Amino acid sequence: MNELVPPKPKTIDLVNASLAKRRASERLFRGIGLISIMMALMFLFMLFYSIVSKGYTAFRQTHIQLEVNFDQQLLDPAATRHHDVLSSADYSSLVKASLSKLFPDVTSRNEKRQLHGLVSAGAAYQLRDMVMADPALLGQTLQLWVPADDDVDMLIKGHIDRDGPETERRLRDVQIAWLDQLAAQEKLSLKFNMLFFANGDSREPELAGIWGALMGSIYTLLVTLLLSFPMGVATAVYLEEFAPKSKWVDLIEVNINNLAAVPSIIFGLLGLAVFINFMSFPRSAPLVGGLVLAFMTLPTIIIASRGALKSVPPSIREAALGVGASKMQTVYFHVLPLATPGMLTGTIIGMARALGETAPLLMIGMVAFIVDIPSDIFDPATALPVQIYLWADSPERAFVERTSAAIIVLLGFLFVMNALAIILRKKFERRW
């Protein structure tokens, strides 16, 4: 019997046979990893691209050049130069008069209304502010650039299809013809959009600005910083340097870790129920917004500050205690100065998060339509991210670019804050 037994395969042959497949799966796995990172970065790029490409045009605004005659007869017939007379005078007819001068052949009521619609309602405010600042302008004639209506702006920026059917357009054919005429005379031009940075909110897109929201954000963050920084540092110092090991301290730690992960909208509910409903603080005020955001950022600051305190080596404390300093003196004069950069870094990052937070502010009513610039922490106000939310809801096409522009400003602030935190960390980071 000489049956041929197949030779028992050697391990090395088995390995060699499967090697190609294993190498392929290695390459595949690695490729998937790389693709994942690329996808994540691509999402980041898409996000920035979509915001910037929509928003950069908002920094320039279409203006129309008008020859304005500050008619003494119309504005201040009695030549009183009195404040009240000047402020309540009819400036919009000045604008209308100069438009009629540009297009003398427009006579019908309907066409006149369309002609006047080319210029923003803000033009009259601009003229009023000029006269209020300098009453000597009365009787003079000046060449002025005034903001155009948002529809004109959109047309110039190419967001309105000028060849589409007239009924589906926000501008009539005759209006476009006038605009072409103005453009040919170089009386139509894109200028830096000062109003966007100087105004509060407005129903007219061309007059809407972020200054009010920005001030609201600043007041809110001021309250947040003043409350959360000292409290956060004090808590961290107590837990790191003084607290004995006990159930009570454990409870505090569990609470802090949990609060760090509670959804921000829950903090809004807290603010609504406690500060507004129970303690009847004013609605929409940066004071309440700041309080709510302070509670929200407190865990971040505490955790960062504890990390900073932990990284101070024990030898520093021992040396101070060794020469007779009390525990408090050791902490105050030796540990805290060394931990300050780390604490500040954590605080800045917490503030950056608070600046971008929207949901809790919606709960406490900082979502109202507010035109005035807030002047203290009790005034009704919105915040920058809330303004973005409000504009994103507005139907006018012109608000899309304004929303994106406001986002660019917000991201700019966040970038500066984070860069500051990184610089601080790099500069003062010490390896012991």
Partner 1 sequence: MHTFTFVLILLMLMVASFFFGRRRAVTVSKGDVRSLNSLPGYYGYYTALWCGIPALLIFTFWQFSESAVITNLVIAGLPEEVTLLSKQQLNLVINEIRNLVSDNIVASTISPEIAAAAERYREMQAISKMALFAVMMALGVGGATYALSRIHQQHKARNKVENTILIFLIACSTIAIFTTLGIVLSVLFEAILFFQAVPVTDFLFGLEWSPQTAIRPGQVGASGAFGAVPLFTGTMLVSAIAMVVAVPIGLMSAIYLAEYASPGMRALSKPMLEVLAGIPTVVYGFFAALTVAPFFRGWGESLGLAISSESALAAGVVMGIMIIPFVSSLSDDVIYAVPQSLRDGAYSLGATQSETIRKVVIPAALPGIVAGILLAVSRAIGETMIVVMAAGLAANLTANPLESVTTVTVQIVTLLVGDQEFDSPKTLAAFALGLVLFVVTLVLNVIALYVVRKYREQYE
Interactions with partner 1, residue window 262-301 (CB under 8 A): 262-267, 269-270, 272-274, 277-278, 295, 298-299
Stretch that binds partner 1, among 75-83, 104-112, 124-132, 251-259 (CB under 8 A): 251-259
Between residues 66 and 364, which has the closer beta carbon with respect to partner 1?
Answer: 364
Number of residues lying near partner 1 (CB under 8 A): 86
Distance CA 297, CA 292 (A): 9
Task: Name residues contacting partner 1, limited to 369-408 (CB under 8 A).
Answer: 385-386, 388-389, 392-393, 400, 403-404, 407
Tell me how far, at minimum, the Cβ of 87 lies from partner 1, in Å: 21
Tell me how far, at minimum, the Cβ of 219 lies from partner 1, in Å: 15
- Residues 330-359, one symbol each (x = binds partner 1 by CB under 8 A, - = not), give ----------------------xx-xxxxx
Q: Is 302 near partner 1 (CB under 8 A)?
A: yes
Q: Provide the token pair at 142.
A: 């000046």
Q: In angstroms, what CA-CA distances link 427 with 150, 293, 343, 351, 431?
A: 47, 29, 14, 20, 12
Residue 27 is which amino acid? R
Distance CA 36, CA 33 (A): 5
Q: Is 235 near partner 1 (CB under 8 A)?
A: yes
Task: Name residues contacting partner 1, limited to 131-190 (CB under 8 A).
Answer: none
3-state SS class at 215: helix
Is residue 353 within 8 A of residue 335, CB to CB? The reply is no
3-state SS class at 186: coil
Task: Name residues contacting partner 1, limited to 4-33 (CB under 8 A).
Answer: 15, 22-23, 25-26, 29-30, 32-33
Distance CA 138, CA 87 (A): 13
Between residues 192 and 242, which has the closer beta carbon with respect to partner 1?
Answer: 242
Between residues 209 and 350, which has the closer beta carbon with respect to partner 1?
Answer: 350
SS3 content of the chain, % helix, strand, coil (to 5): 70, 5, 25
Task: Name residues contacting partner 1, limited to 304-333 (CB under 8 A).
Answer: 326-328
- Residues 186-215, one symbol each (x = binds partner 1 by CB under 8 A, - = not), give ------------------------------
Burial per residue of 323-344, b for 16 or more beta-carbon CB atoms within 10 angstroms, e otherwise: eebeeeebbeebbbebbebbbb
Q: Out of 74, 85, 231, 420, point to the residue binding partner 1 (CB under 8 A).
A: 231
Between residues 91 and 295, which has the closer beta carbon with respect to partner 1?
Answer: 295
Instruction: Name which of 229, 224, 197 is nearest 212 in CA terms.
Output: 197
Question: What is the dihedral angle through the alpha carbons of 111, 113, 114, 117, rounded to the nearest 10 degrees?
Answer: 160
Distance CA 211, CA 374 (A): 10
Between residues 312 and 410, which has the closer beta carbon with respect to partner 1?
Answer: 410
